[in-house]
Amino acid sequence: MAELRIQYCDRSAADAFFGQMVEMFAVVWGAPPYAGNPNFSADTFAVRLRDAMKIDGFEVVTGHADGRFVGYAYGLTMPTDWPWWTALGDARPPEVLEAAEAGQVYWLRELMVLPDQTRQGFGRRLHDEAVARRTERWTALHCIVGNEPAYSAYLRWGYRILGRMHGVGDAPTYDVMLLPSA
Q: What is the pLDDT of residue 166?
A: 86
Q: What is the pLDDT of residue 120?
A: 94
Each residue of 145-155: pLDDT tens digit? 999 989 999 99
Looking at residue 60, its amino acid is V
Q: Are 49 and 18 in contact (CB under 8 A)?
A: yes
Question: Going from the N-terminus, what domains does the chain have, and what CATH number goes with each?
Answer: 5-180 (3.40.630.30)
Supply the pTM of this predicted model.
Answer: 0.94
Planar angle of CA 178, 120, 173, nearest 5 degrees? 35
Cα 154 to Cα 178: distance, rounded to the nearest angstrom: 9
- DSSP-derived letter for residue 2 is P
Cα 177 to Cα 51: distance, rounded to the nearest angstrom: 22
**In this structure, what are the phi and psi dihedrals at residue 57, rounded to the nearest 5 degrees?**
80, 5
What are the start-end ranges of the E strands in 11-103? 59-65, 68-77
Low-confidence ranges of the chain (pLDDT < 50): none
Q: What is the pLDDT of residue 170?
A: 79
Nearest to 173 by CA among 87, 96, 102: 87
Task: Tell me the helices (H) and strands (E) count for the chain, helix number first.
Answer: 7, 7
Q: Are 63 and 39 in contact (CB under 8 A)?
A: no
Q: What is the pLDDT of residue 1?
A: 65
Instruction: Please give the biggest Cα pair distance in the chain.
Output: 46
Q: What is the pLDDT of residue 4?
A: 96
Looking at residue 66, its amino acid is D
